[in-house]
Amino acid sequence: MTAERYIHTYEPDEQARLIRQGRFLAPWVHPGVDFAGRARVLEVGCGVGAQIRILLDRFPETHFTGIDVSQLQLDQARRFLAGPIAAGRVELVEASAYRLPFADASFDGACLFWVLEHVDDPPGLLREVLRVLKPGGVLYDTEVFNSGLYARPRMPALEAYWVAFNALQVELGGDPDVGVRLAALLDRAGFERIELRDVTPQIDGRLRDPAARHDAVDFWHSLVLSGASKLLAHGRVTPGQIEALKVDFAALDGNPDALFRYAALQACGYKPR
């Protein structure tokens, strides 16, 4: 996707946020991903390499290939994954997810994290992933369901901002609610034995450590702000609205009984043998 159609940015601060995001969300999104015994795995839309870094530690016998359309993201990924690349465990390739530069049946597994929300043809992309998987190969796809964002007490500034965020993403050709369509999308692309699971991260009264709660709230605030520059540039929000978000998130941080959840779903499917 082009920078113009990507609701986030390719700036260094956003690249660092993506690495943080990989670590922060790993306890929710990675336990259900199993590439044990699979020699070659492809990540489509690997970005800065945040997910590959986690997968390398979990599956030490697996070789990972990451593709991304952005050279800027891949440059950062090459720095972040320099050690594993030198060790021959990772290959990074600049390519379109719609035209993967690999032969049929090249990989034992594949994964996508937060990718389909940004593309205009999810079925076409998934069919291309199916093509490069070996028979019996597995795909794990983790995606957002932005309409499922929920906070209690309410966060009025965030509610208004989130409406603008999601509307702009749709106008840019994406789908901020694609997570709820995952099972049907995999089925349409030709996958079988499809499973769909809820991997929604949630902050609530169980998070009693103030420092841990502050870190979690700060992460979610940074994620929400990752679209701010594009929203401001398109005139969809004002600087005053951005400032008002600080009040909402400060209240979330200061209330040990407050609840915040950002809905996400993960689908698993296999290429027919």
> How far, in Å, CA of 165 to CA of 225, rounded?
10
Residue with structure tokens 């699979």?
Answer: 38
* Structural domain that includes position 98: 12-270
What average pLDDT does the segment 17-27 reach?
A: 97
β-sheet with 192-198: strand ranges across: 90-94, 63-68, 40-44, 107-113, 133-144, 264-270, 192-198
What average pLDDT does the segment 35-59 reach?
A: 98
- pLDDT tens digits for range 51-95: 999 999 999 999 999 999 999 999 999 999 999 999 999 999 999
In-domain check, residue 16: yes
Rg over CA atoms, the chain: 19
Query: Greater confidence, 253 or 9?
Result: 253
Q: What is the pLDDT of residue 252?
A: 97
What average pLDDT does the segment 9-32 reach?
A: 96
Q: What is the pLDDT of residue 3?
A: 63
In-domain check, residue 5: no
Residue with structure tokens 């689908």?
Answer: 267
Question: Across the chain, what does the average pLDDT equal?
Answer: 97
Give the domain CATH number at 266: 3.40.50.150
- pLDDT tens digits for range 163-195: 999 999 999 999 999 999 999 999 999 999 999
In-domain check, residue 151: yes
Q: What is the pLDDT of residue 1?
A: 58
pLDDT-derived band of residue 9, with 50, 70 and 90 as boundaries? Answer: confident
In-domain check, residue 59: yes
Total domains present in the chain: 1
pLDDT-derived band of residue 199, with 50, 70 and 90 as boundaries? Answer: very high
Q: How many residues does the chain have?
A: 273
In-domain check, residue 147: yes
Question: Helix or strand or coil: residue 138?
Answer: strand
In-domain check, residue 7: no
In-domain check, residue 173: yes
pLDDT-derived band of residue 2, with 50, 70 and 90 as boundaries? Answer: low
Cα 59 to Cα 72, 111, 130, 181, 199: the distances in Å are: 27, 14, 22, 29, 21
What average pLDDT does the segment 221-244 reach?
A: 96
In-domain check, residue 1: no
Q: What is the pLDDT of residue 6?
A: 85
22: closest CA among 219, 157, 164?
Answer: 219
